[in-house]
Amino acid sequence: MEEKARQRLEAIALTIRRHIISMLAAAGSGHPGGSLSAVEILVSLYFEVMRHDPGNPAWEERDRFILSKGHACPVVYATLAEAGYFPVEELQTLRAFGSRLQGHPDRKKLPGLEASTGSLGQGLSIASGMALGFKMDGKSNRVYCLMGDGELDEGQIWEAAMTAAHYKLDNLCGIVDRNGLQIDGWTCDVKSLEPLADKWRAFGWNVIEVDGHNVCDLVRAFGRFRHSHFKPAVIIAHTVKGKGVKSMENEAGWHGKAPGPDLAAQILEELDGGERR
Amino acid sequence: MTAVSLVENIWTEVEKIPTRFGYGDGLVELGGTNPNVVVLGADLTSSLRVDRFRDTFPERFIQTGIAEQDMMNLAAGLSLVGKIPFVSTYGVFCTGRAWDQLRTTVAYGGLNVKVGSGHGGISVGPDGATHQALEDIAITRTIPGMTVIVPCDYHETVKVVRAAAEIDGPVVIRFGREKVPVITTPDTPFEVGKAQVFRDGSDVTIIACGVMVYESLKAARMLEDEGISARVLNCPTVKPMDIMTVVDSAQETGAVVTAEEHQVMGGFGSAVAEVLCRHAPVPVRTVGVQDVFGQSGSPEELMESYGLTAQAVAGAVRDVLEMKKR
């Protein structure tokens, strides 16, 4: 990827981190950790990889993105707003009564959301159904599904993994936000996931491991997915929960807690400092 | 109220066909007219009678293996790209095991997924309690936006399948395993959300769905000999309920008995009672399974033992008429 393109994506990522902090502070609740860890994934998809049109959210030829880890919706809302699906100002209504930005995604309310998610473990099956439908119709649309690593505790993920491999859904790309933390602590302490790549391989998937905060690596990984045939692909994106905000990085306590106004102001300053560097 | 015309002789020479055959045949018919219809099965293809669809439209049949939760969400995904998926498995699995998928992804998402909920009720028989869906009506009708339909016989099931494809939204179709009397004809009118008078009467209204409609007709016939005039309403659409017909009938007859092959708590009878306590608070008795699990046995033994017979319905009518007198 060209240096200019990388800088563009990184600048957008920073803006989205700012949105996440300010919208969560306004809401007074929500999930910063797993939103911040997925920023570069979302930015790569919506600003480089996916075929989509913010002016026409119902465009039939669009690629689809399913947020299986529905609690990370702040990063999706911020990305959709930055992409132009709805006004950026609306981000401040997150979780408020009557808002289109529900605590977990409601596809009926907000343009750009493909599915209502939040009950973990369901997204990969939804994405598989879409991918299967596109295959049946001979269409070239691709489907991307972002899962949390803690979410992989859910058995349904592995049902879907078997189904997608069985039907050779090479138009389906799973992404695991491998930040290593879930509510009760490190994923290895809660329930061991490793050897994770081997598990996916054994289920019949192409596995691509990347630094989930490196937009160049991510975009390259999505390119490899597009060139893999007869198998679905999963990108295991190694990330840091709370990435970009020093006080939140690798802290399970910031899974589902919003920063207060003072801390939020401090974090925004910290992020601005990062921008100046 | 005028009764709709049924098969001529339902007492001595009635034909018996399982309602699941109506589901399977309905899908084959629908597949021929609507190219968007796809059917999903979870290793129960012949049992659910969807092998006919699979063999007729193999490219539109999706085998998911024994993975009902995955199947429900696969259907959700298929509906999001323009398909009309019919998820097909036993009621205990598609409404129980996959309830969260049905509630959160399908119904909350407003998705156009149809659920063929087979082996409903205790008449499943020897498989026993694990496989007898007796809570499915209760747990699906409480989901906002859900349509829940319990057809009474083969022909009505075919019509329900046809109608379900015309509804833009989730629909649960509940049918059974055993052969049951065919009391309607291909020409008997059917409309989602409409109850029909299958037999007119003036002292009491028996409101039933599924196989209990035939038992209710038998009960009404028995009661006639005792000088009791019982109206029988076939009310296949549990949700949205035909409030007007139910309320009018309750007001005209002054007493109601409901009959369902399901737990009495939260199910069809509860749905009728909810309507009546608001609009026409007449005495009500509910016939159904009394808050217990089933067991193995022949369908006849079980229906008898768990009080799902014409005799039980007639007994409830006598009870409710006592209350009406007070």
Q: Summarize pLDDT for A134-187 with one digit per residue, the tens.
A: 999 999 999 999 999 999 999 999 999 999 999 999 999 999 999 999 999 999
B104:A107 CB<8 A: no
Most B-contacting residue of A63, A104, A114, A122 (CB-CB within 10 A), to test interface: A122
Torsion of the alpha carbons at A24, A30, A34 and A40, rounded to the nearest 10: -30
At A182-208, the pLDDT tens digits run 999 999 999 999 999 999 999 999 999
CB-CB under 8 Å, A163 with B69:
no
Quote the number of domains for chain A: 1
Instruction: Give the alpha-carbon dihedral of B117, A151, A54, A229, to 10 degrees.
Output: -80
Collect all residues of chain B within an 8 Å Cβ-Cβ radius of residue A114. Answer: 80
Size of interface A-B (CB pairs under 8 A): 103
Q: What is the CATH number of domain B16-181?
A: 3.40.50.970
Chain A residues in contact with B79 (beta carbon < 8 A): 129
Going by pLDDT thresholds of 50, 70 and 90, the confidence category of residue A275 is low
Confidence of residue A245 (pLDDT cuts 50, 70, 90): very high
Tell whether A133 is within 8 A of chain B (Cβ).
Answer: yes
CA distance B136 to chain A (A): 21
Nearest CB neighbour to A115, from listed B72, B82, B105: B105
pLDDT surpasses 50 at A277: no
Is the pLDDT reported for residue A32 higher than 90? yes
Paired with A233 in beta bridges are: A173, A206
- Tell me whether domains B16-181 and B196-325 share a fold: yes
- Cβ B105–A126 below 8 Å, yes or no? yes
Domain that holds residue A268: 3-276
| CATH 1.20.58.100 for domain B196-325 | no
Best mutation site among B81, B100, B111 for testing chain A: the one with the most A CBs within 10 Å? B81
- The catalytic residues of B are 68
Which residue, among B234, B148, B223, has the nearest Cα to B197 in the 3D structure? B234
* Domains in chain B: boundaries: 16-181, 196-325
Chain B contacts in chain A segment 163-202 (CB below 8 A): 163, 166
pLDDT at residue B326, as a whole number? 84
Task: Please provide the DSSP assignment of chain A as one string.
Answer: --HHHHHHHHHHHHHHHHHHHHHHHHHS----HHHHTTHHHHHHIIIII----TT-TT-TT--EEEESSGGGHHHHHHHHHHHTSS-GGGGGGTT-TT-SS-SS--TTTSTT--S---STT-HHHHHHHHHHHHHHTT----EEEEEESGGGGSHHHHHHHHHHHHTT-TTEEEEEEE-SEETTEEHHHHS---SHHHHHHHTT-EEEEEETT-HHHHHHHHHHHHT--SS-EEEEEE--TTTT-TTTTT-GGGSS-PPPHHHHHHHHHHHHHHHH-
Judged by a CB distance cut-off of 8 A, whether residue A134 touches chain B is yes
Chain B residues in contact with A162 (beta carbon < 8 A): 65, 67
CB contact under 8 A, A126 and B77: yes
> Residue A1's pLDDT band (boundaries 50, 70, 90)?
confident
User: Which parts of chain B have pLDDT scores under 70?
Assistant: none
For residue B248, give the 3-state DSSP assignment.
helix
**CATH code of the domain covering residue A21:** 3.40.50.970
Predicted pLDDT of residue A274? 64
Q: How far is A158 from chain B (nearest CA, A)?
A: 9
